[in-house]
Amino acid sequence: MPEEWVDELAVAGDPDEVAARIAALGAAGATSVVLSPVNAETALAELELVAGTVVGG
Tens of pLDDT along 1-56? Answer: 898 988 888 898 888 898 899 999 999 999 999 888 989 999 999 989 888 888 76
Residue 44 has what pLDDT? 94
Amino acid identity of residue 23, one-letter, is A
Residue 57 has what pLDDT? 52
Residue 56 has what pLDDT? 66
C-beta separation of 51 from 37 below 8 A? no
CA 41, 44, 46 angle in degrees (round to 5)? 95
Residue 20 has what pLDDT? 92
Rounded Cα distance, 51 and 30, in Å: 19
